[in-house]
Structure 1
Amino acid sequence: MAPVIRKIEQSELKLTLIHSGQHYDYQMSKVFLEELHLNKVQDNLEVGSGTQAEQTAKLIQNYEKMIIKYKPDIVLALGDTNSVVATGIVCAKLNVPFGHIEAGIRSYDMTMPEEINRRLAGVAAAIHFAPTEQAVVNLYYEGINPKRIYLTGNTSVDTTLEHSVIAKKKSQIMSKLSIPKNKPLMVVTSHRPSNVDDHNNLREICQALIDLSEFSIVFSVHPRTQKNLEKSKLLSDLEKAKHIILSEPLGYLDFLMLMSESTIILTDSGGLQEEAITLGKPCVTLRTNTERPETVKLGVNFLVGADYDKITQTVRKVYKSEEIKEKLRNIKNPFGDGKASQRILDVLLKHLKQDDLKFTEPNFFTRGSADFQLIKLEMGISRDKYEEENKGQITLVYDPNGKPKPIPDKIPKDWVIRFQQF
């Protein structure tokens, strides 16, 4: 979110920054605000921890007060946290336009709180800033108005590219942690409940780390993970392994430096899968699904779950693979080029000037419902002209191979369109 905030501050728009307080200790919150220079927080809701329902309810109540207080023309939130879904719900109820950054990414795993949040945010949002072509298509499938979806890339790429240079100049983490240089470096994080709250899964992950002794391993331990490592008595096993360095959660610049210097990244984080490909690093993901499938399709991210054999075998295979290294050197990042924040600002300025983002009553259906039909084009068409002449909207397109695509302004012959008649 930091690059979007900076772009807004440099524009004609007035910005009010609200901190949810969902992450509330120094290492999980304040250090990021400091390093990303986000010092102009007008209000901190300080909701703290709690169950999913407790935290979301507190956020909804507090965000409603903030929106009534500040009377914004639009509210932005990024990602898939409880803060995001609470923001979306409040905005939809008050009919204040909500812009969702990182819209449309899907794992289709409804056991994940983040997936529930992503889906709900998608329904509530008035405008969607999608990071990838797949994310755009996912929103089409869910019936989102295509005119409200913008392919921008992800702001995480902007932040990673900008701050990786700064991290190399400022961070002293390599010497601070005394990381040896005679072995390849693997950076590890794990915080998902399915991994760290499940004793068997946590044991499998820890044993894999212990046995991957040909690597120097830095394991950045989340507070939730620390608690469960102590509870399950696995912490002492990790501490005895000379090749494993256990670290408290690190600041953004220090962690970015670690990733930049790493050979491979092992994680269950969604965001780190993006940062890995942006930094040209292979990723092994401690999950059986991902909302970043683009990385898997490109062959630079590998899903292994919490299975000891899969973890150890895949890490070793990926490390030795020259083919994967070559892919990462030449790959086009599906999450963007570092200019997402500027695209988001441009879209915001356009729609705010037009004042066309609030939800309105759908009084254009002549038959009482939204009807769709698939039409194969016998000639190329202009999207706007076709919609005007046929009194409707193109809501999805397929290329001649049957693959769904973001809707272009000019749609070629032999493509199939899904048309919604008004």
Structure 2
Amino acid sequence: MKKKILLVVGARPNFMKIAPLMHALQDNPHLEAILVHTGQHYDNQMSGRFFEELGIPAPHINLEVGSASHAQQTARIMMGFEQVCLDEKPDFVLVVGDVNSTAACTLVAAKLNIKSIHYEAGLRSRDRSMPEEINRLVTDAISDYFFTTSVDADDNLLKEGVSADQIFMVGNLMIDTLEANLSKAQSSTQIFPLLNKGEHINIADIAKAGYGVMTFHRPSNVDNKEILTQLVSIWGAISEKIPLVFPIHPRTYKNIQQFGLLDKINQYEHLLLIEPLGYLEFIHLVSNATFALTDSGGIQEETTHLNIPCLTVRPNTERPVTVWEGSNKLIQLNDIEQEINLILQGNGKKGTNPKYWDGKTAQRIVAILETI
């Protein structure tokens, strides 16, 4: 009899992690995989398009919880997922990452005495003001098996009392997806309308002289008017040296509008705001960039694998291996322009690829799932 595994996804970063696993589990004689989408990210640009681009089959179950406060969203996910577990009676629940769906579904599984597996376990930023850190701590406190992406994650779990025989360092599924799609991404659409400028940009044209790519969405950077105003000034100053392409998060764009900063942004000819991109378009954009300027998590991993300088505007990161071994650098607001100048002078940070970031993580995970 096949072992039944519920694979849980909820938000955009999860889709890139689950895609190679779904492909590796397809037609497996020992394992039956059921894909459960909680609907935490629910619009087509942030969710549905990724299933199509990454070749993930439509979810077997979609809870369609939608957007809400952390408490409301977590409660809705738990209520919906509990019924799924009661109906499906799985042998395992596998969750990924650190979003609300991750913690909520692990809690449901634990209370129903269903074994749970956390992929990307053990990552720690040590910053409990971040909702993601709370989700990581809660999930790892009650999981049964821990699949990790780096040595530091193993160390964190061991220090927290997890038995070594429950921990498996498997590598990075994001890199599996990147490796599988990089060549396809290079032929993706690269002409995009600029927001509020009535023009288009062609990435191929600006790539000849170089450009930077940006992502910003952390509340600490974009929810405070004073900080966001300072960031806009910094972005503008950098864009006068090298074009900046900014696929802007809906929340960040909303704050820019509410804080009255759109006119200021539009003064800078080469500060290029575009809509959020699909995965293939975004990977093309990143892989051809001179550098990345971000407060995101996933892009730290992708730039490390691609060996592209990445400046992360945060005081900490749950992915320190990208700093220790990779091309990532944590910086403060006031250091951004100086660090960009170093990159433009050819002195940007370079690094190496961490262990098992080789595109074969899904194969290792499936081999373990067959034995536990």
- Per the normalisation by structure 1, the TM-score is 0.79
| Counterpart residue number, 1:10 | 27
Q: Quick one: distance in 1 between partners of 2:147 and 2:91?
A: 17
Q: CA deviation at 1:323?
A: 6.8
Alignment of 1:140-219 (within 5 A): 140-173=158-191, 177-179=201-203, 180-181=206-207, 183-212=209-238, 213-219=240-246
| Counterpart amino acid of residue 178 in structure 1 | N
Whichever residue aligns with residue 8 of structure 1, its letter is L
Superposed, 1:98-113 pairs within 5 Å as 98-113=116-131
CA distance, structure 2, for counterparts of residue 114 and residue 177 of structure 1: 34
- Does the CA contact (< 8 Å) of 1:107 and 1:290 recur in 2? yes
Identify if the C-alpha distance between structure 1 residues 42 and 182 changes in structure 2 by more than 3 Å, giving closer, same or farther. Answer: closer
What is the 5 A alignment of 1:154-303? 154-173=172-191, 177-179=201-203, 180-181=206-207, 183-212=209-238, 213-298=240-325, 300-303=327-330
Distance 1:148 1:181, change over 3 A: closer
What CA distance in whole angstroms lies between the structure 2 residues aligned with 1:289 and 1:8?
35
Aligned residue among 37, 53, 68 for 1:19: 37
Shift of 1:182: 5.1
Q: Is the 8 A contact 1:183 1:214 kept in 2?
A: no
Alignment partner of 1:169: what SS?
Answer: coil
* Equivalent position of 1:304 in the other structure: 331
| Equivalenced residues, count | 345
Does structure 1 retain, via aligned residues, the 8 Å contact 2:304–2:327?
Answer: yes
Cα distance between partner residues in 2 of 1:177 and 1:122: 44
Measure the CA separation in 2 of the matches of 1:160 and 1:87: 27
Query: Which consecutive segments of 4 or more residues in structure 1 shift more than 4 A?
Result: 173-176
Question: 1: distance between equivalents of 2:344 and 2:367?
Answer: 41
How big is the shift at 1:145?
1.5
Q: Which amino acid aligns with 2:19?
A: A
Counterpart of 2:244 in 1: which secondary structure?
Answer: strand
Which position in structure 2 is the counterpart of 1:416?
none
Aligned to 1:333: 354
Over 3 Å counting, the alpha-carbon distance change for 1:193 and 1:151 in structure 2 is same
Q: Structure 2 CA distance, aligned partners of 1:274 and 1:332?
A: 9
User: 2:73 & 2:226 partners in 1: Cα distance?
Assistant: 28
* Equivalent-residue separation in structure 2 for 1:347 and 1:161 (angstroms): 22
One-letter amino acid of the structure 1 residue matched with residue 57 of structure 2: N
Give the equivalent residue in structure 1 for 2:344: 319
Per mean C-alpha deviation after superposition, the further-off stretch among 270-279 and 310-319 is: 310-319
1:64 maps to amino acid: E
Q: TM-score scaled to structure 2, two decimals?
A: 0.89
Shift of 1:299: 6.3
Shift of 1:240: 2.4
The amino acid of 1:106's aligned partner reads: R
> Partners in 1 of 2:76 and 2:209 — Cα distance?
47
Q: How far apart, in 2, do the equivalents of 1:203 and 1:303 lie?
A: 21
Alignment RMSD, CA only? 1.6
Give the aligned partner of residue 86 of structure 2. 68
Residue 364 (structure 1) aligns with: none
User: Is there any run of 5+ residues in structure 1 with no aligned partner, and where?
Assistant: 352-422
Distance across 1 between alignment mates of 2:27 and 2:176: 16
The residue matched to 1:150 in structure 2 has which SS?
strand
Q: Report if aligned partners of 1:103, 1:122 keep a CA contact under 8 Å in 2.
A: yes
Judge conservation of contact 2:127–2:316 (CA < 8 Å) in 1: yes
Is the contact between residue 173 and residue 254 of structure 1 (CA under 8 Å) also seen in structure 2? no
Q: Residue 109 of structure 1 contacts residue 289 of structure 1 at CA under 8 Å; is this kept in 2?
A: yes
- Deviation for aligned residue 1:277: 0.6
Q: Is the 8 A contact 2:149 2:170 kept in 1?
A: yes
**Any idea what the Cα deviations from partners look like across 1:112-168, whole Å, max 9, x if unmatched?**
000000111111211110000111111101111211100101101111111111101
Structure 1 residue 105: deviation in Å?
0.8
For 1:16 and 1:340, how far apart are their aligned partners in 2? 19
Q: Whose radius of gyration is greater, 1 or 2?
A: 1
Deviations 1:165-193 (A, max 9, x none): 11013343489632324532100011111
The alignment partner of 1:109 has SS state of coil
Shift of 1:335: 6.0
Instruction: State how far apart, in whole Å, the 1-side matches of 2:118 and 2:281 are.
Output: 28
Between 1:271-280 and 1:162-171, the stretch displaced more is: 162-171
CA contact under 8 A between 1:98 and 1:125: conserved in structure 2? Answer: yes
Mapped to 1, the partners of 2:115 and 2:56 lie a distance apart of: 23
Aligned counterpart in structure 2 of residue 96 of structure 1, from 107, 114, 137? 114
- After the TM superposition, which of the residue ranges 284-293 and 170-179 deviates more from structure 2? 170-179
Superposition pairs of residues 340-379 of structure 1, within 5 angstroms: 340-351=361-372
